[in-house]
Chain A
Amino acid sequence: MFNVISNELLAENLHKMVISAPRVARARKPGQFVIVRLAPGEERIPLTIGDADAQAGTITLFIQAIGASTQKIVATPAGGALRDVAGPLGKETHIANWGRVACVGGGVGTAVLFPLVKALAGAGNRITTIIGGRSSRYIILADELAPLSERLLVTTEDGTLGSTGFVTGPLQEMLADPERAPQAVFAVGPVPMMKAVAELTRPHGIETVVSLNPIMIDGTGMCGGCRVQIGGATKFACVDGPEFDAHLVDFDGLSDRLSSYRKEEAARHAATGCRLKEERR
């Protein structure tokens, strides 16, 4: 059992949970994730480790409760416990000092982006963070990201916060300005967003890293469910990723495989009263 130390509601459906997991906290590097299973009979859900405190033996998870399983996980109060937390899994982020870096987060992808921004800032990068969502309700972690970033830009599709439009807007402006163009870009969010970012940076030859979220079960390379095509080769996101060179990723294939259980999930969400569509870490 893994005790829940605290459980805070940061925004609608977004929880910050601090979990006691001393071994994971000690071994964890930015970019890695854990597999969480609330209780027997429940799904194994991959969740990015947002932060860790090796001294306290805790890890922080930012969880957007948009699926039946994540809703149950965030319903666990401080003092409660999660049955299974396994990790850290996946490869750590390659962190270097590129100079100027753009970090782009869409929706709950911003939670995955947070530990990368923290590590990149720690390595001395000057970071422009661009986060976006459908409306202000979906903008998360702005307060946490602001002190780590040289600039923090917010976009919403309905204009309820920041500039109206997509995260690709401000990124495009940066790329067009030689004074501001980044040497590296990190992007995490819905597949169409990551694909759009990859297409923007491709002509500039700027190193671009995305964190992928395919369907996953064991997280240790055993099942092969999380396979993605990278530069024409089959890779397993859990062992070879989850971060990959955005310019080599087959985003359409990823997007298609992510829809494998949409029918089943819709039925389950209907049963639990959840209206949102996609589950991601």
Chain B
Amino acid sequence: MNKLTPKERMAIERVVMPELPADERSRNFEEVNLGLSENQAFEEARRCLQCKNRACVAGCPVGVSIPEFIDALASDDLPRAANILRGDNALPAVCGRVCPQETQCEARCVRGVKGESVAIGFLERYVADWAMHHPDRLLRAELPPATGKKVAVVGCGPAGLTAAGELVRMGHGVTIFEALHDTGGVLRYGIPEFRLPKEIIDQEVAQLTELGVVIECNVIIGKTLTVAELREEYDAVFVANGAGLPIMLNIPGENLKGVYAANEFLTRVNLMEAGRRPESATPIIRSREVAVIGGGNTAMDCVRTARRLGAERAMIVYRRSEAEMPARVEEIKHAKEEGVEFVMLTAPLAVTATEDGWVAGLRCQMMELGPPDASGRRKPIPIPGSEFDLPAGVVVNAVGTNANPLLTATAPDLTLNKWGNIVADENGMTSIPGVFAGGDIVRGGATVILAMGDGKRAAAAIQEYLKGK
């Protein structure tokens, strides 16, 4: 069926993702991207040139067989498309929503050289969502015979879930230990409902538990149990306990009432449902004016959340310009559509206070861009005399996190770098035999998909390690 000539394929224009209208969605937490229709997905799949060198696959941190699943989709064989996708990626419905495809698979797409790349992310989401709604039509995954080996996975976020999915399909017994009361890690506490509905996480997790993965919540490795204890009971351990303590701004006024670290702001709303469900027992401070400091995806998530909590002026305050922002293009676009203000080339000097100790706003200074710094981005330089006040009743610090110290504090044999991140080789191997690590605890703050890539590689390395035992 998928037998078009290249010329016919080239003639098809890239699909546009249907979205909730900006004025409607900026008042609720419903998912912004609505997903492609069957026709849209089919047409988009036919745009893929099926090139031999598979550049897109090389751009994917988990190596999804992209041309193959797209070909199955274009051939109207969704069960096969789903099977290919799920075979390579434990969380396709998540990746189809939150991956930065524009800098990964889609950036390598040949069609992008002279026009627009194939919308690989949208297609991934379409196939994954179809699979969720048609469990009866999926090809049953045949698990190999049980190996009798047990692997402990620390952390139920993207790296841990991916590793668990790979390991259980290899026939190993897998137990995930999660510190919080619910699954998903950053997918649940960090990423807002309007980008990744919790229902998607629930379903992806359910697919893993159906395969036999055991998830134990409320277990903090490093506190409830130590790595050494896990090492005694399990044949291998994969540590993916995620990001840690927020990096403070170290400016005056940072502890005023109404100043949040991004993780607290997002956790209150995402995990604890503050402001999202009237019956939630967790409060959140709201304001007509909210300033979010930072330029990454977390900052975008915070500012768009603030808008939905009722802020009339929801602002991104960033010391470089929009071109240097690490946030995904789509997040920036969506934020702007929803009325978020971008206060660029602006650095906060202090949080100012009202008489009774609440946030009054940010004392800011204008910046200009100088030559590139160590990060390769142009360095912001303060402009003397450019100080000004930005009124805000809530300030959110979204500049990043440091390494999580809880696990490593009780694992003295684990080699850390100078920032406290676990040192691991390209396969995730740490300084302790049988203990592997990946995701933010190794990388510092990174993305969901890089964490997933770590989980996948570590699972392969654990397989090799267990064979040798």
B261 is contacted by which of A86, A220, A223 (Cβ under 8 Å)? Answer: A223
Contact call A44/B181, Cβ cutoff below 8 A: yes
Contact A83 B223 (CB under 8 A): no
Given known A222-B245, A224-B263, A239-B245, contact A86–B257 (CB-CB < 8 A): no
Q: Is A151 an interface residue (CB 8 A)?
A: no
Assess the B283–A218 pair: CB atoms within 8 A.
Answer: no
**Main SS at interface, chain B:** loop
B220–A41 contact, CB under 8 A? no
Question: Does A217 sit within 8 A of B, measured CB to CB?
Answer: yes
Instruction: State whether A223 touches B181 (Cβ < 8 A).
Output: no
Stretch of B86-94, B267-275, B421-429 on the interface side: B267-275
Contact B218 A86 (CB under 8 A): yes
Give the distance to chain A from B231, nearest Cβ to Cβ, in Å. 16
Tell whether, in the assembled complex, residue B181 and residue A84 are in contact, meaning their CB atoms are under 8 Å apart: yes
Contact A234 B224 (CB under 8 A): no
Once the chains bind, are A83 and B181 in contact (CB under 8 Å)? yes
Please determine whether B268 and A268 come into contact, CB atoms closer than 8 angstroms: no
Number of interface residues of B (CB under 8 A): 42
- Contact in complex: B224, A86 (CB < 8 Å): yes
1/0 contact string of B399-414 vs chain A (CB within 8 Å): 0010011100000000
Q: Is A150 an interface residue (CB 8 A)?
A: no
Tell me if A168 is interfacial: C-beta within 8 Å of chain B.
no
Complex Cα–Cα for A221 and B402 (A):
10
Instruction: Tell me whether A225 and B264 are in contact in the complex, defined as CB-CB below 8 angstroms, given that A27-B224, A86-B220, A87-B223 are known contacts.
Output: yes
- The answer to whether the Cβ of B219 comes within 8 Å of any Cβ in the partner chain is yes
Q: Are A265 and B404 in contact (CB under 8 A)?
A: no
Mark interface residues in B232-256 (1 if CB within 8 Å of A CB, else 0). 0000000000111110101000110
B281: CB under 8 A from chain A?
Answer: yes
**Could you say which residues of chain A place their CB within 8 Å of the CB of B258?**
260
B4 interfacial by beta-carbon distance below 8 Å: no
Q: Is the CB of A221 within 8 A of B255?
A: no
B281 with A88: CB separation less than 8 A: no
Residues in chain A near residue B245, CB distance under 8 A: 221-222, 224, 236, 239
> Restricting to A207-233, which residues have a CB under 8 Å from any CB of B?
217-218, 220-225, 227, 229
Given A27-B225, A257-B257, A239 and B246 contact (CB-CB distance below 8 Å)? no
Answer whether A229 and B281 are a contact pair too, CB < 8 Å, given A86-B218, A86-B224: no
Query: Looking at the complex, which one of A83, A85, A89, A217 makes contact with B267 (CB distance below 8 Å)?
Result: A217
Q: Specify which chain A residues have a CB less than 8 angstroms from the CB of B246 in the assembled complex.
A: 222-224
Q: Which residues of B contact A85 (CB under 8 A)?
A: 218
Known: A24-B224, A84-B181. A221 touches B405 (CB 8 A): yes
A78-122 CB contact bits vs B (8 Å, 1 = yes)?
Answer: 000001111111000000000000000000000000000000000
Chain A nearest CB, measured from B348 CB (Å)? 16
Contact B224 A217 (CB under 8 A): no
Which B residues lie within 8 Å of A89 (CB)?
220, 223
Known: A217-B267, A265-B283. A43 touches B404 (CB 8 A): no
A184 close to B (CB within 8 Å)? no
Q: Which residue of A lies closest to B179 (CB)?
A: A220
A220:B406 contact, CB within 8 angstroms: yes
B223 touches A222 (CB 8 A): no
Contact of A222 among B219, B225, B243, B254 (CB under 8 A): B243
Interface residues of B in 158-192 (CB under 8 A from A): 179-181, 189
**Cβ of A223: which chain B residues have Cβ within 8 Å of it?**
246, 261, 263-264, 267
Name A260's closest neighbour in chain B (CB-CB): B257
Nearest-CB residue, chain A, relative to B264: A223
Instruction: Knowing A27-B223, A222-B244, A223-B267, say if A257 contacts B255 (CB, 8 Å).
Output: yes
Does A253 sit at the interface, judged by CB under 8 A?
yes
Inter-subunit contact A86/B179 (CB<8 Å): yes
B23 within 8 A of A: no
- Closest chain A CB from B358 CB (angstroms): 9
Is B277 in contact with chain A by the CB < 8 A criterion? yes
B10 at the interface (CB under 8 A from A): no
CB neighbours (8 Å) of B219 from chain A are 23, 86
Q: Does B285 contact A (CB under 8 A)?
A: yes
B281 touches A68 (CB 8 A): yes
- CA–CA, A256 and B219, complex, Å: 32
Decide: A88 and B224 in contact? CB cutoff 8 A.
yes
Judged by a CB distance under 8 angstroms, whether A259 is at the interface is yes
The answer on a CB contact under 8 Å between B218 and A41 is no
Asked if A43 contacts B282 (CB within 8 A), the reply is yes
Task: Determine which of B217, B223, B283 lies in contact with A88 in the assembled complex, contact meaning CB atoms within 8 Å.
Answer: B223
Q: Contact between A87 and B224 (Cβ–Cβ < 8 Å)? A: yes
Do A261 and B263 touch across chains, with their CB atoms under 8 A apart? no
A199 close to chain B: CB less than 8 A: no
Q: How far is the CB of A211 from chain B (nearest CB, A)?
A: 17
Closest partner residue, chain B, to A84 (CB atom): B181
Is A264 an interface position by the 8 A CB rule? yes
Residue of A nearest to B280 (CB): A41
A239 and B405: CB pair below 8 A?
Answer: yes
Cα of A42 to Cα of B272 in the assembled complex, Å: 8
A145, B435: Cα distance in complex, Å: 45
Question: With the chains together, A69 CA to B257 CA distance in Å?
Answer: 22
- Residues of A near B404 (CB, < 8 A) are 220-222
The smallest C-beta distance from B409 to any residue of chain A, in angstroms, reads 9
Tell me, in angstroms, the Cα distance from A88 to B260 when the chains sit together.
Answer: 25
A37 at the interface (CB under 8 A from B): yes
Q: State which of A23, A43, A221, A227 has its C-beta within 8 Å of the C-beta of B281.
A: A43
Select A268's contact among B189, B223, B277, B281, beta carbons within 8 Å.
B281
A127 to chain B, nearest CB (A): 28
Chain B residues in 8 Å Cβ range of A83: 181
Residue of A nearest to B216 (CB): A23
Could you jot down 12 A-B contacts, CB within 8 Å? A27-B223, A44-B181, A83-B181, A84-B217, A220-B223, A221-B406, A222-B404, A224-B246, A227-B248, A234-B255, A236-B245, A260-B285
B residues with a Cβ closer than 8 A to A are 179-181, 189, 217-220, 223-225, 242-246, 248, 250, 254-255, 257-258, 260-261, 263-264, 267-268, 272-273, 277, 279-283, 285, 357, 401, 404-406
In the A-B complex, list the 3 residue pairs whose CB atoms are closest, starting with the nearest: A224-B261, A264-B283, A223-B264
Q: A84-B181, A217-B282, A234-B255 are in contact. List 5 more A-B contacts (CB 8 A).
A: A24-B224, A218-B179, A220-B220, A220-B223, A260-B285
A interface residues, Cβ below 8 angstroms from B: 23-24, 27, 37, 41-44, 68-69, 83-89, 217-218, 220-225, 227, 229, 234, 236, 239, 253, 256-257, 259-261, 264-265, 268
